[in-house]
Amino acid sequence: MDLHVPQAVEGPPPRTLADMARAGLIIESEGRTRLGDEFRIAASRLYTVVKGSIAAGERCGNMVLVTSTRPAEGKSFAALNMAASLARTGSRSVLLVDADAKVRCLSELIGLAGAPGLLDLAADDRLQPERMVVATPVPGLFILPLGDTLAGLEPGERSQPLPSAAEHLARRFAGSTLVIDTGPLLATSDPSVLAPTASQILMVVESGRTQRNELEAALEMIKGCPKVVLLLNKQAGRNRSSFGAYSYTGEYYAKPNAPPPQRPD
């Protein structure tokens, strides 16, 4: 098994289960849950998509960009739990990259506010990302924090823009799957700028809230990415045996003139 594990040389100590739970990681200490099972199913299918991209030799085939249309649709929660499920499901380690500079971002919730990370790499391409990677209690799951937000305020002064920094990470950790938690498409430009770099995008869609016109606009902004996988969020279960929170809805291939997926009932 070719398992590339990024190792932190310096930096913050490993995170604890309490740190991860505070950020929304599903902890199944008392047995399996429907929500955990739902993520495992979705992760298994997403892993198949990633393996196909890597086998086809696609640029950044090991990269998954996670986004949504608007804030508060459960995107970061989905990114964290999908990354953990991928680490448990597949034979590749997973590097979860925080690329969403919002209030109470993943880095802050996990206790890594102010730790060096992605934005520092974008500001200075001489830095070594291995020195910034932080271990977690989930076997095979590692985190690259957001980094210094001040380093991201002046894009013209960056020596390495975000897409270049992300591509550099994909090459540097070629044996790992990168899950990049970026901002909502209709609230910030970062995901649409990063989209052409990734081989696949995980789009979180909130059932009963995300409007069809918003989804159409968001998908139009990421049509530079060859594959988009939709994850339906907060869907009420139809019966006792159904999954009640997240639902994998298949792949939407972002092609010119392709019709958008129908809004969930």
Does 200 reside within a domain?
yes
Whole-angstrom distance, CA of residue 63 vs CA of residue 83 = 11
pTM of structure: 0.85
Give domain status of residue 10, yes or no.
no
Q: For residue 241, how many other CB atoms are within 10 A of its CB?
A: 7
- Per-residue DSSP letter, 4: -
Q: Judge whether 17 lies within some domain.
A: no
Per the structure, the count of domains in the chain is: 1
Q: Which residue has the tokens 């690259």?
A: 144
Q: What confidence score (pLDDT) does residue 114 get?
A: 87
Predicted confidence pLDDT, tens digits, the chain (265 residues)? 333 445 544 567 899 999 999 999 998 776 788 888 889 999 999 999 999 999 999 999 999 999 999 998 889 999 999 999 999 987 899 999 999 988 889 999 999 998 999 999 988 888 899 989 999 999 999 999 999 866 554 544 544 588 999 999 999 999 999 999 999 999 988 899 999 999 999 999 887 778 889 989 999 999 888 899 988 876 655 443 333 334 444 444 433 334 444 433 3
Q: Is residue 148 a part of any domain in this protein?
A: yes
Residue 248 maps to a domain? yes
Query: Domain limits at 231?
Result: 59-252
Q: Is the dihedral of CA 119, 142, 74, 228 positive or negative?
A: positive
- CATH number, domain with residue 156: 3.40.50.300
Report if residue 48 sits inside a domain. no
Answer whether 179's CB lies under 8 Å from 97's CB: yes
Alpha-helical regions (H) of the chain: 17-22, 34-55, 75-89, 106-110, 118-123, 162-172, 190-194, 212-221
How far apart (Å, rounded) are the C-alpha atoms in residues 171 and 191? 19
Angle at 122 between CA 119 and CA 126, to 5 degrees: 115
Residue 85 lies in a domain: yes
Tell me whether residue 23 is in a domain: no
Give me the pLDDT at residue 104, please: 85
Q: What is the pLDDT of residue 150?
A: 61
